[in-house]
Structure 1
Amino acid sequence: MRFLPALAGLTLALGFGAALAQEVAFPGLRTDPDAQVEVTADSLSVHQADGSAVFTGNVLIVQGPMRLKAEKVEVEYGADRSRIAKLHASGGVTLVSGKDAAEAREAVYEVAAGAVELTGDVLLTQGPNVLSGQHMTIDLKTGTGRMDGRVRTILQPGETP
């Protein structure tokens, strides 16, 4: 019965144009927030005073099956500075895991909470299905999320998100 949510979304998209908000399942966008985080970039600036770091140029962050690419990523460490608390990505952000991929202008990843917030021209593709809006939050532990801001859904017949 996974077709019913897709049919409801399609009916909404066809009957009423773009929605204002839509709950979404992101089965591919899941990861273990306790898994190792690997960051590669063209350069790194470390700020000892406030416990932050800035990676710039072709930044790639890998955690389990999830990959985040951006032009710049600011890293905030926790109070003891031994673990990453938040990642602020900007400049052509792409988040990929499995068959799911999301693009946005900016993203904030709260590592311990396993939450990602994407803002600015958000585009999600799940196989042939496409969802767009201005703001998307994803719970990486459960693989669920919400898209807001003139949401537009394009579902291919016979496909499920």
Structure 2
Amino acid sequence: MTRPFTAAAILLAVMALPTLGDAQTAPVSADAPIAYSSDDVEYVGGTLTLIGRAELIQGQNRLRADRLAGFSQTGDSRMEATGNVYFVTPDQTIRGDRAIYTTGNDTIVVTGDVILTQGQNVATGSRLTYNTRTESARLEGGSNGRVQGVFYPDSTGN
């Protein structure tokens, strides 16, 4: 393995995906290897960029986009995903136009036409801020200035 690819592999290992997802899957995912694929890869100035059908998978969590760029600054790593962004866990799917994940605060911010699904439940807006450690989320209004959604109550009575 050449030096740039070794640096790139280390950079990926430090990146966000280990803690992305809900608390039930985080311990399993955090210990799992990180697999990545794309049509092209660039490594320039400490930034690894996956271009074209870019995908990171760790455990049961998947981050997919047209372009994924990751870099580390003073111990804080950041991953930027652009174009057809999907973040998928066993329980949720988040879709948007752009996402930024920062390891320092365990937060992913998804913007654009955001769609959050969990089972049959769907919520839409223009900006979703989700903390992967605390599982707290904030969804802000979409093109009409409002958050919209459909919630299906549990039919079993639980």
Calculate the TM-score normalised by the size of structure 1: 0.70
Give the gaps of 5 or more residues in structure 1: 1-25
Q: Is the 8 A contact 1:29 1:97 kept in 2?
A: no
Q: Is the 8 A contact 1:30 1:143 kept in 2?
A: no
Map of 2:110 onto structure 1:
118
Q: Is the 8 A contact 1:28 1:97 kept in 2?
A: no
Aligned pair count reads 130
**In structure 2, C-alpha distance between the alignment counterparts of 1:99 and 1:148, rounded to whole Å:** 21
Q: CA deviation at 1:68?
A: 0.6
**In structure 2, C-alpha distance between the alignment counterparts of 1:94 and 1:138, rounded to whole Å:** 14
Amino acid at match of 1:60: E
Which residue, 144, 147, 151 being the options, matches 2:147?
151
Q: Does 1:42 align with 2:42?
A: no
Amino acid at match of 1:154: V
Map of 1:62 onto structure 2:
57
**In structure 2, C-alpha distance between the alignment counterparts of 1:85 and 1:62, rounded to whole Å:** 17
Map of 1:107 onto structure 2:
99
Distance 1:77 1:42, change over 3 A: same
Identical positions, percent: 25
Amino acid at match of 2:74: A
Query: How does 1:51-90 map onto structure 2 within 5 Å?
Result: 51-79=46-74, 85-90=77-82
Give the gaps of 5 or more residues in structure 2: 1-20
Comparing both structures, which one devotes a greater share of its residues to strand?
Answer: 1
Amino acid at match of 1:109: Y
Q: Is the 8 A contact 2:22 2:89 kept in 1?
A: no
Comparing both structures, which one devotes a greater share of its residues to helix?
Answer: 2
Calculate the TM-score normalised by the size of structure 2: 0.71
Q: Indicate the structure whose relative CO is greater, using CA pairs within 8 Å and at least 6 residues apart.
A: 1
Give the RMSD, CA atoms, in angstroms: 2.6
Q: Is the 8 A contact 2:22 2:132 kept in 1?
A: no
Amino acid at match of 2:37: T
